[in-house]
Chain A
Amino acid sequence: MNGPILAARDLHLAFGGLRALDGVSLDLWPGEVVAIVGESGSGKSTLLRVLAGQLRPQSGQVTYRDAEGVAHAVQSLSDAALRRLSRAEWGFVHQSPRDGLRLGVSAGGNIGERLMALGARHYGRLRETAEAWLRRVEIDPGRLDDLPRAFSGGMQQRLQIARALVTGPRLVFMDEPTGGLDVSVQARLLDLIRALVAELDLAVLLVTHDIAAARLLAHRILVMRRGRVVEAGLADRVLDDPQHEYTQLLVSSVIAA
């Protein structure tokens, strides 16, 4: 397969006088992890929502190339088509488990929901799959029938990842997946994500303000400030030899790990 899995060209979006996206372009290749870094208000979360079709830009194009190699203009997909893609080929991991999980539904039900939406109707096999995924994200399979409300923050995030990945997506959007977690918990979660991404050959767009997370997971990094991409390149190059003064500031503000 040739060509990027996701391509954005010259995206513009303003909220009142605030330019959230100001001429942003990017390419994401199959199996590639790209981190979008920047401080809050830089436009990185807005970019993620535009790329995933949840927000409409005022101008610009987002193109997704599906498993058959067919290109789709994300902004002109019907609700039904977009939902089909989000269910079958994409995954979304939110910063807050509240947004990514059904807290009143058991862990097994959370993992099984996407499969059921795609037509799975065998209870026993749904449970087997859910158990296998719990193991994969290092949650005791004995907690299959527990509500996520009873889980720790780190477990909730791991469950969210299982829920997003169970249908075998090709493209995963992650919005600050480690935000709000203790440092030790963050490290474990990052390790898990790194292993799963490599194993499943996922393309990932990772939004984070955590430079360490970007260094650990990403092949390439985009640095955003005030709605613009101020610097882009291979992760090690951007972090070890930042060119833009804003990137230099970001990198220097991180205590060396």
Chain B
Amino acid sequence: MTETGYNFAYLDEATKRMIRRAILKAVAIPGHQVPFGGREMPLPYGWGTGGIQVTASLIGRDDVLKVIDQGADDTTNAVSIRRFFARVAGVATTERTAAATIIQTRHRIPETPLREGQILVYQVPMPEPLFRLEPRVAETRRLHALADYGLMQVKLYEDIARLGHVGLSYNYPVMVNHRYLMSPSPIPAFDNPKMHRMPALQVFGAGREKRIYAVPPYTAVHSLDFEDHPFRPIRADARCALCGSDASYLDEVVTDDAGGRLFVCSDTDYCGERQARQRRGEAA
């Protein structure tokens, strides 16, 4: 049942074309932030309006949409966005990574490797990787134009000097195609290596800041580091309490107020599939 009175996927076709042009430009210049005429959306800024606009511009009637937030399909914001597209586009939705053609995500990359033909749409709160070091937008644009990224390297240097390691655990900056410094959005650094030479197209939408950027399939994505302090992805040193995975990214769940903790996969689809496989294995 689609909402009447609105165009397919909410945005009008002219707006979708404008956004698709921005996406094409973003694909042509990997990691470069392309300004676009972001629209007001019926969800508040900061809740995924950029990702929603990208998805709305890319989605067709045959697409199968998966929406995750913090890796999970059942988190409130993911449910809300999935319902929004079911309502305004009437497309099929899924919770299975492998079955989706478009995956809109906030803060995670699915554990199941993505393949050619899939599109991963990231919701981006702050597209500018340098903003903590230089808040002025005009100046950061200049720094990108000149590929002047010494400042960011200094930040990493300072972290190591103070803490012995880089103090970033999420939104860890990457160099795309050896040219542009890019924010991977606030995904855990654990997910950064998945971006490198990913067969799927990665598109990033920032609604409030009105910028789109992209990483085309099979593009080099490197996390910044030093030769003698190489980048290291971080995960909790534990196994998932549900599926036993020791390789996935884990959420910590507080079980009582006496210090009780357990860890479960943040990727609910991955965890569920593993549990199903284990049950089948037991039954067999």
Q: Residues of A at under 8 Å CB distance from B?
A: 79-80, 83, 102, 105-106, 108-109, 112-114, 116-117, 121-124, 126-127, 144-145
User: What is the predominant secondary structure among interface residues of chain B facing chain A?
Assistant: helix
Contact indicator B227/A116 (Cβ below 8 Å)? no
- Chain B 239-278, CB-CB to A under 8 Å as 1, else 0, gives 0000000000000000000000000000000000000000
Q: Which residues of B lie under 8 Å from residue A80 when comparing CB positions? A: 145-146
Given contacts A122-B227, A122-B228, A123-B226, contact A109 B157 (CB under 8 A): yes
A105 to B154, CA, bound (A): 8
Chain A facing B: main interface SS = helix
Question: Across the A-B interface, how many residue pairs have beta carbons closer than 8 Å?
Answer: 54
Assembly CA distance A102 to B142 (angstroms): 19
Q: A106-B158, A123-B226, A123-B229 are in contact. Are A113 and B150 (CB under 8 A)?
A: yes
Rounded to whole angstroms, the CA-CA distance of A105 and B152 in the bound complex is 12
In contact, B161 and A109 (Cβ under 8 angstroms):
yes
Q: Considering the complex, give the chain B residue whose CB is closest to the CB of A124.
A: B228
With A108-B161, A123-B157 known as contacts, the answer to whether A79 contacts B150 (CB < 8 A) is no
Instruction: Name the interface size band of chain B.
Output: 10 to 19
Specify which of A83, A102, A116, A124 is in contact with B153 (CB 8 Å cutoff).
A116
Asked if B28 CB lies within 8 Å of chain A CBs, one says no
The listed residue with most A CB atoms (<10 A of its CB), out of B148, B154, B227, B229, is B154
In the complex, which residue of chain A has the Cβ closest to the Cβ of B151?
A: A113
- Within the complex, which residue of A105, A121, A127 is in contact with B227, where a contact is CB–CB below 8 Å? A121
Q: Which B residues touch A116, using CB under 8 A?
A: 150, 153-154, 157
Q: Does B61 contact A (CB under 8 A)?
A: no
Confirm or deny: B136 has a beta carbon within 8 angstroms of a beta carbon on chain A. Answer: no
Q: Can you sample 29 A-B contacts with CB below 8 Å?
A: A79-B142, A80-B145, A83-B148, A102-B154, A105-B154, A105-B158, A106-B158, A106-B162, A109-B154, A109-B157, A109-B158, A109-B161, A112-B154, A112-B157, A113-B150, A113-B153, A113-B154, A116-B150, A116-B153, A116-B157, A117-B148, A117-B149, A121-B225, A123-B226, A123-B228, A123-B229, A126-B157, A127-B161, A144-B161
